[in-house]
Amino acid sequence: MSEILRVVRLKKWFPVQKSFLERLLAKEKLYVRAVDCVDLSVSKGETLAIVGESGSGKTTLGRLILRLIDPTDGRIYLDGQDITNLKGEALRKLRRRMQIIYQDPYASLNPKMTIGDILRDPLKIHEIVSTEQEAREVVLNVLERIGLTPAEEFYSLYPRNLSGGQRQRVAIARAIILKPELIVADEPVSMIDVSLRASILNLMIELKKELNLTYVFITHDLAVAKYIADSIAVMYLGKIVEKAPTEKLFKASMHPYTQALLSAIPMPKPLHTKTRKLEIGGEIPNPINIPSGCRFHPRCPYAKEKCLKEEPQLIEVDRDHHIACWLVSK
Amino acid sequence: MNTFRPILTKLVPRIPLTTIGIAGLLMVLLVISMAIFADFLTPYDPTKSVGLSLQPPSLQYPFGTNKVGQDMWSRTVHGARTMLIVVALSTVISIVIGVPLGLISGYVGGLLDRVLTMVMDAIYAFPSLILAIAIAAALGPGIINTAISIAVVYVPTYFRMVRGQTLNVKSQLYVEAAVAIGAKQTSILLKYIFPNVIFVVIAVFTLSVADVVLTEAALSFFGLSVPAPTPDWGFDLRAGHPYLVSGYWWLVTFPGLMIIILAVGFTLLGESISEYLGLREVKV
Amino acid sequence: MSEKLLRISSLKTYYFSRKSVIKAVDDVSLEISRGEMVGLVGESGSGKSTLGLSIVKLVPPPGKIIDGRIILDGKDILKLSDKELRKIRGKRIGMIFQDPLTCLDPLRRIGDQIVETILTHLRIDKEDAREIAMKTLERVGIPSDRIDNYPHQLSGGMRQRAMIAMSIALDPELLIADEPTTALDVVVQSRIMDLLEDLRTERNMSILLITHDLALVIERSNRVVIMYGGKVCEIGLVKDIAEDPLHPYTKLLLQSIPDIEKIKTELKPIPGSPPDMRNPPPGCRFWPRCPYTLERCKDTEPNLTIIEGRVVACHLYRG
């Protein structure tokens, strides 16, 4: 399969805002190292899940890929084209090819625009249609497709008239209406009621097949990732620590952090906790103070001397299975 | 135009007013009707001497006459027109200058924002009446000049509120979403930011219009507003107050009462509207 | 563990606004025994949070408890005066929330806040209160040298632990935990749940775990209460609910949550959406989404039926 997205040594360091006095007295600058040297490759038609806890940098990574923020370093390639430094008109036009679905269905829709307006806007911006009539038709079709029927009714409603689940469907519609190649979905079901998540996920899966989409699916929920993703990349403190096809990650994960995550997921089995494999303590440290060597070492039960001193690189240890850990690679 | 029509239709009808708000509305409507129907309501030309000087209220002259023999009833009723024209004009000027500047300043940020904010803060720091007086004195008399003098005083208020709300809206997720779909900057400003900022303009208006009334009255009291024969409440107050001591109460009572009615009316109405808007929009 | 601590009887808590009445908790009855963890599961509009707040009479206006009884040790606490109720809140019933900053004053040191809570209820010296505070902080996993920290100096998980410390300092008999771990990382969540479990067994303290996470509840609780649209659907032991759910909502809910141990799960979403609580459907609140709807369901509300020690409100199970 051809590669649609490639990310090379991508970095995003946010300078820490300091008071005037602190700036005067301090010698070195401090940074929040949100994304710290990430390599990724996503094939066309694939769903890659980026899994991590808050503080892992996954949301920032999503924003970087879509060029909603500028990288500090590294390169981003969309379908072979270097989009790292695109600006202005070129960047604006590029957006047709990559879209986003946000986590919060309440905040991501303009409260002063009707659903019809919200969905017509992308069409008008990129001049996909030439008449109002055409635009309306396209929007009505999309509304039908995503299950908001009767479409004519929803067309003139405002976001505040819709439930959270319905709003998220509108957000999905907005993302697909331009028929993009790549969609970054940032925790699209985290704020949706549990019983409705499956329908949103199933809709996304169907749309992917119909429109030949590629998803970068950001989530903290490994169970959701398992359901929707072809491969999973686990992020910790700005770096990818393990990447593997979904089945392999669940059956044969190698990184201690991945194993800890898998062990901590609540399972709908009574007394399940008694059979957990790996437990770790502590919390993700502040991304301003990244631990030396392997950034996971303070919480890792298997940490050795080398782990404190040198940072392991992400290397392929098995077919398509990448890991950054001194236990596995020498 | 398509963006504006839904906004207007949404804001105008169906704002539930409390009893106080309705009282205020009635007071304001009273004055507005006086201004509109002035010609039908008054038998005499307010600028001409039509009777004997300093006559007390009578059937022929319900509000009496002033020193130069003008009918106070006609002057008071026509004064509403003058007042409301100045208020409307100065509000329009304040909004036309303050709102776009606030929007752009908030949206663009950077050096432009800092400079504009400093200028606006400087104007805002002046005591409003003194500033209005200074400008009116410099510009000279006339309805338009008066409107400009008052407008300048309120431009910073519109600017600040609009800028503040713009900064607030700018950080909302749906604005980033607009960027993500590839919207142009102007489109973002007009379709995404402005409609979510505009209610602030209504709020500022309702809360400051009473003040504008009083400022106009003060300016004309100092003789800096409209020139002599034009009926104006503040002017009449000034003209009439030396005679108050001698018992000619009708010269100041009626213009004074009108100023109070209009100012209080706007205040009550304004409070009621802004309370409603504040409660509604904060949740958005 | 079979001694009854709290009995909620036909509780009704409604929110009154000018246009509508939201029947957030609509005739709910349940019991909590000493030392057990009861999971209260529901989605938006289920009324679970309102139920938690009702127990300690902390329902914010325009909400009002309009009917029902909450019996703690034989006494209906809804009938108590404010003064008597304050004695219970904090001392006999503790409460923790999703956001620790709703309990913790960001401007005061955590140690001071715990001490103040203690002194409100116990007539002891400040030093003794501080001793208790330190011991409690240690017990929840916060080193005692952090007793003088401000909330913002603690990490998310630590703040949650601080809030737990504050609520258990006086050794309450019941702890109401409203989404205590929803905002936390799954690893931290696991440790916090371990802590709660340990506290429960150590102190024979009952815990009412209010959450939308059915998997969490099944993994950790003894009994489960499923709520939907302000009403109770089903109550039962965790094993029974997980292996043999009775209520259609429970069944569908179980089918709709991703389970990572199944090889290829087919998630079956529940069609429709949670009810609009201003205008809930007549009859059984769940019928518009229920695959087993009978005619009766559309106009008659099902009563709670007891089957082999389990409770279910569904017309499919009427005797």
Band (C97; pLDDT cuts 50, 70, 90): confident
Question: Which residues does chain A have within 8 Å of residue C43's beta carbon, measured at their own beta carbons?
Answer: 193-195
Question: Which of A102, A112, A160 minimises the CB distance to B177?
Answer: A102
pLDDT of residue C272: 84
* A68 contacts chain B (CB < 8 A): yes
Question: Which of A222, A226, A281 minimises the CB distance to C191?
Answer: A281
Question: Which residues does chain B have within 8 Å of residue A110's beta carbon, measured at their own beta carbons?
Answer: 174, 177-178, 191-192, 195-196
pLDDT of residue B20: 83
C93 Cα distance to chain centroid: 12
Question: Which of B177, B183, B284 minimises the CB distance to A108?
Answer: B177
Q: Locate tokens 């500090």: which residue?
A: A72
Over residues C24-45, the mean pLDDT reads: 92
pLDDT of residue A26: 67
Q: What is the 3-state secondary structure (H, E, C) of chain B?
A: CCCHHHHHHHHCCCCCCCHHHHHHHHHHHHHHHHHHCHHHHCCCCCCCCCCCCCCCCCCCCCCCECCCCCEHHHHHHHHHHHHHHHHHHHHHHHHHHHHHHHHHHHHHCHHHHHHHHHHHHHHHHCCHHHHHHHHHHHHCCCHHHHHHHHHHHHHHHHHHHHHHHHHHHHCCHHHHHHHHHCCCHHHHHHHHHHHHHHHHHHHHHHHHHHHHHHHHHHHHHCCCCCCCCCCCHHHHHHHHHHHCCCCCCHHHHHHHHHHHHHHHHHHHHHHHHHHHHHHHHHHC
Q: Reply yes or no on whether the pLDDT at B139 is more than 80.
A: yes
CA distances from A162 to A109, A177, B176, B262, C276 (A): 11, 19, 21, 42, 11
CA-closest candidate to residue A255, choices A289, A305, A306, A295: A295
pLDDT of residue B1: 42
| Residue A304: CB atoms within 10 Å | 13
CA distance C166 to C133: 8
Q: For B222-281, how does the pLDDT look when each residue is reduced to its tens digit (9 = 90+)?
A: 888 888 788 889 988 998 888 888 888 888 898 999 999 999 999 988 888 877 766 554
- Lowest mean pLDDT of B164-173, C111-120, C272-281, name the range: C272-281
- Lowest mean pLDDT of B100-114, C93-107, C261-275, name the range: C261-275
* A31 contacts chain C (CB < 8 A): no
Question: Could you say which DSSP state residue A270 is in?
Answer: T
Q: Name the residue with higher pLDDT: A151 or C155.
A: A151
pLDDT of residue B39: 84
CA distances from C103 to C81, C88, C146, C165 (A): 23, 17, 18, 11
Q: What is the 3-state secondary structure (H, E, C) of chain C?
A: CCCEEEEEEEEEEEEECCCCEEEEEEEEEEEEECCCEEEEECCCCCCHHHHHHHHCCCCCCCEEEEEEEEEECCEEHHHCCHHHHHHHECCCEEEECCCHHHCCCCCCCHHHHHHHHHHHHCCCCHHHHHHHHHHHHHHCCCCHHHCCCCHHHCCHHHHHHHHHHHHHCCCCCEEEEECCCCCCCHHHHHHHHHHHHHHHHHHCCEEEEEECCHHHHHHHCCEEEEEECCEEEEEEEHHHHHHCCCCHHHHHHHHHCCCCCCCCCCCCCCCCCCCCCCCCCCCCCCHHHCCCCCHHHHCCCCCCEEECCEEECCHHHCC
CA-closest candidate to residue C111, choices C70, C65, C161, C149: C149
Question: Which residue in chain B has the smallest CA separation from A88?
Answer: B184
- Report ipTM (2 d.p.): 0.89
Question: Which residues does chain C have within 8 Å of residue A263's beta carbon, measured at their own beta carbons?
Answer: 190
| 3-state secondary structure at position A25 | helix
Shortest alpha-carbon distance between residue B194 and chain A (Å): 10
Q: Residue A300: inside a domain, yes or no? A: yes
Band (B284; pLDDT cuts 50, 70, 90): very low
- Lowest mean pLDDT of C26-40, C138-152, C195-209, C236-250, name the range: C138-152
Question: Could you say which DSSP state residue A313 is in?
Answer: P
Question: Which residues does chain C have within 8 Å of residue A194's beta carbon, measured at their own beta carbons?
Answer: 43, 212-214, 253, 256-257
Residues composing chain B? 284
* A102 contacts chain B (CB < 8 A): yes
* pLDDT-flagged residues of chain A (< 70): 1, 18-20, 22-24, 26-27, 272-277, 330
Q: Residue B272: inside a domain, yes or no? A: yes
Band (C263; pLDDT cuts 50, 70, 90): low
CA-closest candidate to residue C250, choices C284, C220, C226, C281: C226
Radius of gyration for chain A, computed over Cα atoms and rounded to the nearest angstrom: 21
Over residues C247-262, the mean pLDDT reads: 84
Please judge whether A68 and B184 are an interchain contact, meaning their C-beta atoms are less than 8 angstroms apart.
Answer: no
CA distance C46 to C13: 12
Q: Reply yes or no on whether the pLDDT at C161 is more than 80.
A: yes
Domain count, chain A: 1
pLDDT of residue C256: 84
Q: Reply yes or no on whether the pLDDT at C262 is more than 80.
A: no
pLDDT of residue A27: 64
Please judge whether A53 and C185 are an interchain contact, meaning their C-beta atoms are less than 8 angstroms apart.
Answer: yes
Question: Which residue in chain A has the smallest CA separation from C276?
Answer: A163
Interface test with A, best of C241, C260, C262 (most A CBs within 10 A): C260
pLDDT of residue B9: 47
pLDDT of residue B108: 92
Q: Residue B206: inside a domain, yes or no? A: yes
Angle between helices A164-176 and A115-125 (to 10 degrees): 20
Shortest alpha-carbon distance between residue C127 and chain A (Å): 30
Band (B282; pLDDT cuts 50, 70, 90): very low
Here the tokens at position C149 are 């920290």
Q: Reply yes or no on whether the pLDDT at C32 is more than 60.
A: yes
> How is domain C4-92+172-259+267-317 classified at the CATH fold level?
Rossmann fold (3.40.50)
Residue numbers of the domain that contains B209: 63-277
Q: Reply yes or no on whether the pLDDT at C1 is more than 50.
A: no
Question: Which residues does chain A have within 8 Å of residue B192's beta carbon, measured at their own beta carbons?
Answer: 110, 113
Interface test with B, best of A110, A120, A170 (most B CBs within 10 A): A110
Please judge whether C44 and A164 are an interchain contact, meaning their C-beta atoms are less than 8 angstroms apart.
Answer: yes
User: Given strand C63-72, what is the order of strands in its sheet?
Assistant: C21-33, C4-16, C63-72, C75-76
pLDDT of residue A330: 62
Question: Which of C157, C190, C219 minimises the CB distance to A268?
Answer: C219
Question: Which residues does chain C have within 8 Å of residue A201's beta carbon, measured at their own beta carbons?
Answer: 267
Note which residues in 149-208 of chain B have CB less than 8 A from chain A.
Answer: 172-174, 176-184, 187, 191-192, 195-196
- Lowest mean pLDDT of C17-21, C98-102, C218-222, name the range: C98-102
Q: Return the sign of the alpha-carbon dihedral for residues C80, C85, C87, C91.
A: positive
Note which residues in 263-322 of chain A have CB less than 8 A from chain B.
Answer: none
Question: Which residues does chain A have within 8 Å of residue B188's beta carbon, measured at their own beta carbons?
Answer: none
> CA angle, C4 as apex, C3 and C8 as ends, to 5°?
175
pLDDT of residue C66: 92
Question: Which residue in chain A has the smallest CA separation from B7?
Answer: A112
Please judge whether A195 and C43 are an interchain contact, meaning their C-beta atoms are less than 8 angstroms apart.
Answer: yes
Question: Which residue in chain A has the smallest CA separation from B186?
Answer: A125
Domain extents for chain C? 4-92+172-259+267-317
pLDDT of residue B100: 94
CA distance A186 to A208: 16
The pTM assigned to this predicted structure is 0.85
CA distance B192 to A57: 28
Over residues C190-199, the mean pLDDT reads: 90
pLDDT of residue A166: 93
| 3-state secondary structure at position A199 | helix
Domain count, chain B: 1
Q: Give the CATH number for residue A246.
A: 3.40.50.300
Q: Residue B37: inside a domain, yes or no? A: no
- Average model confidence (pLDDT) across chain C: 88
Q: Where are the beta strands (DSSP E) in A19-170?
A: 31-43, 47-51, 73-78, 81-82, 98-101
pLDDT of residue C2: 62
Q: Residue A206: inside a domain, yes or no? A: no
Contact status, residue C210 vs residue C179, Cβ threshold 8 Å? yes
CA-closest candidate to residue A198, choices A189, A211, A209: A189
User: Given strand C93-96, what is the order of strands in its sheet?
Assistant: C93-96, C174-178, C206-211, C37-41, C223-228, C231-237, C310-312, C305-307
Over residues B33-61, the mean pLDDT reads: 84
Please judge whether B177 and A99 are an interchain contact, meaning their C-beta atoms are less than 8 angstroms apart.
Answer: no
B100-114 b/e (C-beta count within 10 Å ≥ 16 → b): ebbbbbbbeeeeebe
pLDDT of residue A114: 95
A251 Cα distance to chain centroid: 23
pLDDT of residue A200: 93
Q: How many CB pairs under 8 A join A and B?
A: 62
| 3-state secondary structure at position A31 | strand
Neighbouring subunits of B (3+ Cβ pairs under 8 A): A
Q: Reply yes or no on whether the pLDDT at B129 is more than 80.
A: yes
- With a pLDDT cut of 90, the percent of chain C lying above it is 48
Q: For B24-45, how does the pLDDT look when each residue is reduced to its tens digit (9 = 90+)?
A: 888 999 999 988 888 888 888 8
Q: For C46-58, how does the pLDDT look when each residue is reduced to its tens digit (9 = 90+)?
A: 999 999 999 988 8
Interface test with C, best of A265, A274, A286, A288 (most C CBs within 10 A): A265
- Tell me whether residue B259 is exposed, middle or buried, using C-beta atoms within 10 angstroms of its C-beta: 0 to 12, 13 to 18, 19 or more: buried
pLDDT of residue A1: 64
CA distance B84 to B32: 8
Q: How many CB pairs under 8 A join A and C?
A: 130
pLDDT of residue A318: 86
